[in-house]
Structure 1
Amino acid sequence: MERRSFLRGAVIGTSVAAFGGTLMRGAAYAAPAQNGPSPYGPLGAADANGIQLPSGFTSRVIARSGQTVSGTSYAWHNAPDGGACFADGSGWIYVSNSEINPGGGASAVKFNSSGTITSAYRILSNTRQNCAGGATPWNTWLSCEEVSLGYVYETNPWGGTSTRRDAMGKFKHEAAAADPVRHVIYLTEDESNGCFYRFIPTTWGNLSSGTLQVLVAGSGTSGSFTWQNVPDPDGSPTATRNQVSGAKHFNGGEGCHYAGDTVWFTTKGDNRVWQVNLLNSTYELAYDDNLVNPGPAPLTGVDNITGSSSGDLFVAEDGGNLEICIITPNDIVAVFLRVTGQSSSEITGPAFSPDGQRLYFSSQRGTSGSSSGGITYEVTGPFRA
C-alpha cells in the first residue's frame, strides 16, 4: 500500500495493520501520480450545460453572476472563486468567494435536504480579491485576500458578522486548511516565491491571537522539514516570506486540503501537488506534470483542490483543458470532468456536499471570459465512498 493511500484513508478508518506497515517505510517517498484510467470511466459528450461527465453523472447550474439565484431575490456575485460546504440540519450551505478588487467578499446558497435552493445571501462585503480559503471545524469560512498584504476574514456561512484575523498574517493569501489534530490552520501564498505557513491559535476555535510559522526545508522536491516562527506577521516592511532564513519557497501557492495527518497544496507556477506528511515531518511531490509518463499530462493549470471521503483528490484547472482531475489513493491521475466552450475561464471552488454525493464548483468567467459571466454548478452522481 502506498503511504499516500494510508494517509488519505486514515481519516475514514484505515486498519491498524496498514498503520504499522506504513510507518516502517520511514522516509521512503512514493513516486508522483501517473496517468491512468479514471475509476469513473471515460467522459461522455457535453451535456446541455457544456460539461463532459462520466456515465451516471448530471450537472445543473446553481447561479450566474449578476443574475438572481433561482428561488431567491439575491443576485450572485461576480468572479466566483474558492468555496466550501457546511451542514445545515438536513440540508447544507455552499459558500463562494468573489475574486474582484475592490468589492470582493463572499456569498452563500442554502439547500434543503432534497437539494432545492431555499435562500442565497451575502456573508462578506467590502474586501479585496477574495480568492480561496477554507472551512473550520467550528463551521466558519476563512475567506482569503489574494493581494499584497492581504488579510484572512472569518465569516459566518449563515450570515452575520465577519471578523478580520490580523494574527494570521498579512501576505498574498490564497487557501487555508484546518488540522483538528494539531489545532493549526495551514495557509498558502500566491507568489512566485511564496511560502507555506501554519497558524497556531492561542486557543483552538478562536483565531484572534496566535503564532504564525513558516515551513523550513531544503531546496529539493522531497525531504524533511521544520516550522519556524515568522517574527513579524504584519509583513511590513519585510514580507513574511523573506523573514526566516531557510524558509522553503514555492511557485505560486494555490489550493490546500487536509485529511488523515496529511496536508496537500498546489502550486500553479510549476503544475505541482505537494504532500506534507505530518506524522514524520516530511514532504514530497504527489503530482508533477513534468513527471507523468506516459504523457501528455492530464492535469495542468493546477489550482484549487478538495478531497472526497474515498480519499480521492479533486484538482481544478486554471487553464489547461478546463477540467477537474482526480488523483486516486493509488496514485492515478485522470480527468473527472471537462467544461467546454469556456476557454477564457478557470475552474474554481470545488467542494462536496456533506453526504459526498454532490460536487459544487464554478467557472469563474463562464462563456463570456469576463468576471461578470461567472457560473456556479452542481454535479450529482455515484461518487465512491
Structure 2
Amino acid sequence: MERRNFLRVAVVGAAAAAFGGAAWRDAFADGAQPGASPYGPLLAADGNGIQLPQGFTSRVIARTGQKVTGTNYTWHPAPDGGACFTDGSGWIYVSNSEVSSTGGVGAVKFNASGQITGAYRTLANTNVNCAGGATPWNTWLSCEEVDRGYVYETDPWGVKAAIRRPAMGRFKHEACAADPDHGYVYLTEDVSDGCFYRFKPTTWGDLSSGTLEILKGGSSQTSGPVTWGVVSDVDGSPTATRNQVVGAKRFNGGEGCYYAGGTCWFTTKGDNRVWAYNADTSSISLTYDDNLVTGGAAPLTGVDNVTGTSSGDLFVAEDGGNMEICIITPAGVVAPFLRISGQSGSEITGPAFSPAGNRLYFSSQRGTSGSSSGGITYEVTGPFRT
C-alpha cells in the first residue's frame, strides 16, 4: 500500500490524555501540515543571529574552546544531544561532544534565577558522543555514534563515575528515551538500514542487565501493529545487532527520540519523518513526513533531535534545512519556532527545556565556522505553552 494512505497522527489512549487530550486523536488525517505557529511569526534576527517570535529572547551560554562564564571549564567541541536536570532550586544542562576519541559530556549548572554557577566534565575520552536521553533516576545516557558504539550512563552532577552499559547493545547509537510506564528504554540507530530498539532492564533503574529487542514490521509499513524480536548477541560481533532479528523493520537514519504519556516519538533523517510508537497498543504511525506536505514547501527538513513540552508540543531540530527548530502541535500544525541565520554549515542539536519549561537550551554544533571548534550553545527564554 502507498504510504500516503497511512499517514496520520496516531496518539491515542494514555498518550492523547497526557498530550493535549482529544487534540492529538483528532489531528487531521493528512498528518502534520504547515500552518500558523501558536507563537506567531518569526521576527528579525536578534544580536545573536536568532529569529524568534514576539516575547522571546536569546543568550549565548557557551562557546567551544572558551571558558564558560564564571567557571574554569572550557566548553567542548561539537556540542550535540542534551537534557536538563533539576538541581535544588536550579538546574543542570548536560551536552554531548560529538568528536572522536575525546568526546564525552559537559555540563552547565544554573541557580534559580538562571545564572551560571558552574561547569564541568561528566564523561571524557569516549567516541563521537551524539545524542542520548535522560532517565527517571536522574542520569544521562550518552550514546556513541560509531559502529559497535556503547551507551554510557553518566552523573549530571559529575560526582559518580560514568558507567559503560554494554547490555544496551553495541551499534551506531543515536538517541534513547526512557519509558517508565512500561519499563523500557527505546533506542535509535543512525544508519540507512537501521532499527528501532527497546531495552528491558532486569530491574528498572539498573541498566547493567536486561533484554534488547528490535521492532519488527513490514518493510514499507508506516502504521499499524508491530511486534518485537530479541537480539541474541548484543555485542554485535560478528553479526551486527540490526541483522540478527528476522523481520526487523528498517528505518532510514534514526535520530532523535522522546517519550511522553505512552508514546515514543522518534525521527529518521534519511526520509525526513517523525514517527510515533504507541507503547500501549504496540503500533506505529507517522506524525510528519516532508514528502507529503501539501500547499507549499515543507517547513521542516533534515529532522534530527526532538523534545517536547507538557502542553503536547513537539520541538524538532534541523540538521540542514534552514537551521530551524520547528514546532509540531497536537492539532497537527508544523511551523518554525526559531531560525539561526548565518550558520548554514552547522546543525541544531540538543534541544531541552528547563524543569519549569520556560527556557529552551540547544546548540549550533559548528556555529559560524562550520567546524567542530565553532560550537555555540544557546538559551531561549519566553512564554512557552505549558
Q: TM (normalized to structure 1)? A: 0.95
1:88 and 1:115 mapped to 2: Cα distance? Answer: 12
Please tell me whether the aligned partners of residues 8 and 329 of structure 1 are also in contact (alpha carbons under 8 angstroms).
no
Residue aligning to 1:201? 201
Residue aligning to 1:105? 104
How far does residue 295 in structure 1 lie from its aligned partner after superposition?
2.1
2:63 and 2:169 mapped to 1: Cα distance? Answer: 33
Please tell me whether the aligned partners of residues 20 and 311 of structure 2 are also in contact (alpha carbons under 8 angstroms).
no
Unaligned runs of 5+ in 1: none
Residue aligning to 1:301? 302
Please tell me whether the aligned partners of residues 29 and 222 of structure 1 are also in contact (alpha carbons under 8 angstroms).
no
Residue aligning to 2:266? 265
CA deviation map 1:51-91 (0-9, x unaligned): 00000000000000010000111100000000000000100
Residue aligning to 1:11? 18
1:73 and 1:152 mapped to 2: Cα distance? Answer: 27
1:224 and 1:9 mapped to 2: Cα distance? Answer: 18
CA deviation map 1:160-200 (0-9, x unaligned): 30000000000000000000011110000000000000000
Taking structure 1 as reference, are residues 29 and 199 closer, same or farther at Cα in structure 2, changes over 3 Å only?
A: farther
Please tell me whether the aligned partners of residues 64 and 76 of structure 1 are also in contact (alpha carbons under 8 angstroms).
yes
Please tell me whether the aligned partners of residues 10 and 285 of structure 2 are also in contact (alpha carbons under 8 angstroms).
no
1:54 and 1:218 mapped to 2: Cα distance? Answer: 41
How far does residue 10 in structure 1 lie from its aligned partner after superposition?
2.9
Q: Secondary structure at the match of 1:82?
A: strand
Amino acid at match of 1:207: L
1:360 and 1:86 mapped to 2: Cα distance? Answer: 12
Residue aligning to 2:316? 315
Which aligned pairs between 1:14-29 and structure 2 lie closer than 5 A?
A: 14=21
Matched, 1:375 2:376: yes
2:198 and 2:265 mapped to 1: Cα distance? Answer: 13
How far does residue 277 in structure 1 lie from its aligned partner after superposition?
1.2
Taking structure 1 as reference, are residues 49 and 324 closer, same or farther at Cα in structure 2, changes over 3 Å only?
A: same
Q: Secondary structure at the match of 1:167?
A: helix
2:379 and 2:335 mapped to 1: Cα distance? Answer: 20
Residue aligning to 1:190? 190
Moved more, 216-225 or 287-296: 216-225
How far does residue 11 in structure 1 lie from its aligned partner after superposition?
3.1
1:333 and 1:43 mapped to 2: Cα distance? Answer: 14
Unaligned runs of 5+ in 2: 1-8
How far does residue 8 in structure 1 lie from its aligned partner after superposition?
4.7
Amino acid at match of 1:262: T
CA deviation map 1:244-286 (0-9, x unaligned): 1100000000000001100000000010001111121111110
How far does residue 230 in structure 1 lie from its aligned partner after superposition?
0.6
Residue aligning to 2:6? none
Matched, 1:138 2:137: yes
Please tell me whether the aligned partners of residues 133 and 144 of structure 1 are also in contact (alpha carbons under 8 angstroms).
yes
Residue aligning to 1:166? 166
Amino acid at match of 1:182: H
Matched, 1:251 2:252: yes
Q: Secondary structure at the match of 1:213?
A: strand
Which aligned pairs between 1:73-84 and structure 2 lie closer than 5 A?
A: 73-84=72-83
1:34 and 1:128 mapped to 2: Cα distance? Answer: 38
Taking structure 1 as reference, are residues 41 and 8 closer, same or farther at Cα in structure 2, changes over 3 Å only?
A: farther
Matched, 1:348 2:355: no
Taking structure 1 as reference, are residues 130 and 201 closer, same or farther at Cα in structure 2, changes over 3 Å only?
A: same
Which aligned pairs between 1:323-362 and structure 2 lie closer than 5 A?
A: 323-362=324-363
How far does residue 29 in structure 1 lie from its aligned partner after superposition?
9.7
Please tell me whether the aligned partners of residues 111 and 119 of structure 1 are also in contact (alpha carbons under 8 angstroms).
yes
2:10 and 2:265 mapped to 1: Cα distance? Answer: 14
Please tell me whether the aligned partners of residues 358 and 384 of structure 2 are also in contact (alpha carbons under 8 angstroms).
yes
Q: Secondary structure at the match of 2:11?
A: helix
CA deviation map 1:126-179 (0-9, x unaligned): 100000000000000000000000000000000030000000000000000000
Amino acid at match of 1:126: N
The Cα RMSD (Å) is 1.9
Please tell me whether the aligned partners of residues 31 and 286 of structure 1 are also in contact (alpha carbons under 8 angstroms).
no
Residue aligning to 2:49? 50
How far does residue 13 in structure 1 lie from its aligned partner after superposition?
8.2
CA deviation map 1:105-129 (0-9, x unaligned): 0000000000000000000001000
2:338 and 2:161 mapped to 1: Cα distance? Answer: 36
Matched, 1:180 2:180: yes
Instruction: Report % sequence identity.
Output: 73
Residue aligning to 1:115? 114
Please tell me whether the aligned partners of residues 182 and 279 of structure 2 are also in contact (alpha carbons under 8 angstroms).
no
Residue aligning to 1:278? 279
1:349 and 1:380 mapped to 2: Cα distance? Answer: 16
Amino acid at match of 2:130: C
Size of the aligned set, in residue pairs, is 377
How far does residue 31 in structure 1 lie from its aligned partner after superposition?
3.0
1:188 and 1:346 mapped to 2: Cα distance? Answer: 19
Residue aligning to 2:5? none
1:287 and 1:60 mapped to 2: Cα distance? Answer: 30
Taking structure 1 as reference, are residues 195 and 187 closer, same or farther at Cα in structure 2, changes over 3 Å only?
A: same
Q: Secondary structure at the match of 1:38?
A: coil
1:8 and 1:345 mapped to 2: Cα distance? Answer: 34
Q: TM (normalized to structure 2)? A: 0.95
Q: Secondary structure at the match of 2:373?
A: helix
1:12 and 1:196 mapped to 2: Cα distance? Answer: 23
2:94 and 2:230 mapped to 1: Cα distance? Answer: 31
